[in-house]
Amino acid sequence: AAEQQRQAAIARNRQILEQRVTFDYDQSDLTPAALQILNQKLPILRASPQVQLRIEGHCDERGSNEYNLALGNRRAQAVVDFFVQNGIAAGRLTVTSFGEERPLVARSDETAWAQNRRDEFIITAGANAIQL
């Protein structure tokens, strides 16, 4: 039973680490909602130094490919900067921008665009070492 509880807690923490954040139109500033999510990730990252993350920046379809690749990069870098300012080693974090090339929702309306303006979090190392 104790091992089941431990595995459930690890699964919850993994879910928190993988929870995406969204951005306002044409912005790379972290919103209050994004900061709330990122603050939930901090204690897990601090307790699990083996965990490494790739932060993937995404945009909606508006704007040129070049512009959106740069914007996606700024969005992912904003998260890295937040983590580093809060004591997470930069070497544990990598950034990739997909611009508008991997939409989460394949529609052209404000609801879809709002979901497509996001950072995703991929655990690239240490997934089995997530601490409670």
**Residues 79-89: tens digit of each pLDDT:** 999 999 999 99
Give the model confidence (pLDDT) of 25-62 as tens digits: 999 999 999 999 999 999 999 999 999 999 999 999 99
Exposure class string for 79-96: b at 16+ Cβ within 10 A, else e: bbebbeeeebeeebbebe
CB 57 within 8 A of CB 74: yes
Residue 51 identity (one-letter amino acid):
V
| 24 has pLDDT over 80 | yes
